[in-house]
Structure 1
Amino acid sequence: MGILYSEPICQAAYQNDLGQVWQWVREDGNCINIQDGFNGDTPLICACRRGHLRIVSFLLRRNADVNLKNQKQRTCLHYAVKKRFTFFDYLLIILLMPVLLIGYFLMVSKTKQNESLVRMLLNAGAEVNATDCYGCTALHYACEMKSQTLVPLLLAAHADPMIKNKHGESSLDIARRLKFSQIELLLRKAS
């Protein structure tokens, strides 16, 4: 299940194995920004795909490049924003929801975790308006996912709501199409 990587440090970052990541970095400091042979993911992108905060923090402290792009022209910020709940998360949330609202708190904590991840990357200098192979920025994806926590965070970092993707759609257009009215107002103010 998941992705298999040709670079061991990428696999370790994806699987949340901090010990292994640390070992690889100790053996060769240059592997911090290595790009995997399959899809060009860096260890940082791998960790962001899964939302592994400790590994992201570790890599950033060792000056991992937050703006390297993989073969889809995506940076770690694209993946941090696109990160959705896993099927397992949903299952836990649904099963635990009736039990003292544990499911609700789990959902809130997962959302906060994602917010921390995006904030960490922005603080490390992630280019907020970087576009991928579809011409989408992190803000496009945050709007597509109707993320009320991430859109304001990206706007505060000067994300441009008027950048159009390859379908000619801006983040504002996406918010309008999805009838995401609170976010539409925020985006209008920012543009």
Structure 2
Amino acid sequence: MITSSFSSLLPICQAAYQNDFAQVWRWVKEDNNYVNVQDGFNGDTPLICACRRGNMRIVSFLLRRNANVNLKNQKERTCLHYAVRKRFTFFDYLLIVLLMPVLLIGYFLMVSKTKQNEALVRMLLDAGIEVNATDCYGCTALHYACEMKNQTLIPLLLEAHADPLIKNKHGESSLDIARRLKFSQIEFMLRKTS
């Protein structure tokens, strides 16, 4: 694992965040060690940056170049935490709202974005990410999926042996979150596996 100052590492992390595949490819071609480099600002890796934005092509490329999926940033989060927490951007919502009346194009856009996020999480799980890794708040990816009422990602995480009984620093498990927020379908899924 290479660490250095923010200024020297900013280009590959920034390129991964901005979905600039050509720049990411150039940096990795120059030195494959850049795949797991962590910036000096918040400890993000190029993989974490790409997962924050859902940049699938870059994630796939970095995984093929043996990016370490289990590296954590300064908040002790892995790329899975960010992939699960990924939400629609303001621009996505705007497009969905504007295109909804037009032959349900907005609906199909929303479904497409949801499927992309599901594929992103599946790629990380297939790459061997530690599904029960906790962040600085003691939260796992399953905690965040429950908070977001994400019924498409929860079954994937459970299938990968996510533990619904791990408690965060507030003493709350994923099951407790589902119960507190009255997400009965999610609570049922979590109870079935615990």
User: What is the TM-score with the length of structure 1 in the denominator?
Assistant: 0.97
Aligned structure 1 segments of 4 or more residues deviating by more than 2 angstroms: none
Partner of 2:3: none
Q: Deviations over 1:155-189 (max 9, x none)?
A: 00000000000010000011111111111001001
**Are residues 1:91 and 2:91 paired?**
no
- Who is 2:78 aligned against? 75
Q: Deviations over 1:1-42 (max 9, x none)?
A: xxxx64211010000000000000010111110001100000
Structure 2 residue corresponding to 1:43, chosen from 43, 46, 49 = 46
Partner of 2:118: 115
1:182 to 164, 180, 185: 185
- Aligned match of 1:34: 37
Moved more, 174-183 or 106-115: 174-183
The percent of aligned pairs where both chains have the same amino acid is 86
Residue 169 of structure 1: which of 165, 168, 172 is its match?
A: 172
In the other structure, the counterpart of 1:21 is: 24
Report the Cα distance in structure 1 between the residues aligned to 2:101 and 2:179, rounded to whole angstroms.
34
Q: What is the root-mean-square deviation of aligned Cα atoms in Å? A: 0.7
| Gap regions ≥5 residues in structure 1 | none
Residue 66 of structure 2 is aligned to residue 63 of structure 1: yes
Distance 1:23 1:187 in 2: 43
CA-CA distance at 1:87 after TM superposition? 0.6
Q: 1:75-124 deviations in whole A, cap 9, x for unaligned?
A: 00000000000011001101111110000000000000000000000000
- Could you tell me which amino acid in structure 2 is paired with residue 18 of structure 1? F
Q: CA deviation at 1:70?
A: 0.1
- Which residue of 1 is the match for residue 140 of structure 2? 137
Structure 1 CA distance for aligned equivalents of residues 168 and 27 of structure 2: 37
How far, CA to CA, are the matches of 1:91 and 1:178 in structure 2?
A: 27
2:103 is aligned with 1:100: yes
Query: Tell me, what secondary structure is at the counterpart of 1:132?
Result: coil
Question: What is the alpha-carbon distance in structure 2 between the residues aligned to residue 164 and residue 91 of structure 1?
Answer: 36
Normalised TM-score (structure 2): 0.95
Cα distance in 2 for partners of 1:164, 1:84 equals 24
Distance in 2 of aligned mates of 1:171 and 1:149: 15
